[in-house]
Amino acid sequence: MSEPVVDHPCFSRFFNWLASRGPGRGSFVALRSATAGQARGVTLELGAGGGPNFAYYDPALVARVEATEPDATMLGYARQRAAQASVPITLTQAPAEALPFGDDTFDTAVMTLVFCSVADPERSLRELLRTLKPGGRLLMAEHVRSRHTALAATQSALVPLTTRLASNCHWNRDAASVVRQAGFAEVHAQPLTYPRPSIRLLAGGLLPIQLIEARKPDIS
């Protein structure tokens, strides 16, 4: 099976600014605390970007983090943040569709704002399921398809634009359904609200964010 090549230097520079110094920084605190901040044991982070989650891993609870990211520009930023993190972090250039890790390796998998961009959502989640230990936990935060028909149609209409401009970003994916279809158990999805009213007004309708938690089924 072929692997997607991800190489978007302009978007990577823009998103790294947005997530670290731009309006995204404050907006994303809650989703980073609810995902990376809740990780335990040996942890996999997919599509780590420039590493804004690294500061949220608790050294008392997380043994080490294997962080993957396919884009070389993002990896450059992530290297700097990994060096400052208080948990050991190893970075590997790899797409979510082909993870270079053995079966049943990780206690926790973290994925923030990545599912929208992967080339093959089902294959990515099957890879996650394979590499998690039985009972291992997925902590995912993602902007998802709106529950309102008109907004969902607008999201779909914008996809040709957003995929071109924003590193294959799809505004219309129903992440929780794909997590269930991939074979995860105990799938819980809840909305996360943007803290700033102005951003909530601008982004909340077309970019509703969900926190999705799930487990790899235990071996019976």
Site for ligand SAM contains 136 (CB under 6 A): no
Site for ligand SAM contains 35 (CB under 6 A): no
Residue (84 or 150) nearer to ligand SAM, CB: 84
- E-assigned strands of 17-126? 41-46, 62-68, 89-92, 106-112
Q: Are 177 and 103 in contact (CB under 8 A)?
A: no
Select from 38, 43, 112, 131 the one that contacts ligand SAM (CB under 6 A).
Answer: 112
Q: Are 208 and 187 in contact (CB under 8 A)?
A: no
DSSP assignment letter at 174: -
Site for ligand SAM contains 121 (CB under 6 A): no
Residue (69 or 107) nearer to ligand SAM, CB: 69
Nearest CA-CA partner of 173 in 200, 210, 128:
210
Residues facing residue 65 across a β-bridge: 43, 89
Residues facing residue 143 across a β-bridge: 209
- The footprint of ligand SAM on residues 51-90 (CB under 6 A) is 52-53, 69-71, 74
Residue (117 or 155) nearer to ligand SAM, CB: 117
- The footprint of ligand SAM on residues 153-172 (CB under 6 A) is 167-168
Site for ligand SAM contains 114 (CB under 6 A): yes
Q: Give, for 144, the enclosing helix (H) or strand (E).
A: none
Binding site for ligand SAM (CB under 6 A): 4, 6, 15, 19, 46-49, 52-53, 69-71, 74, 95-97, 112-114, 117-119, 167-168
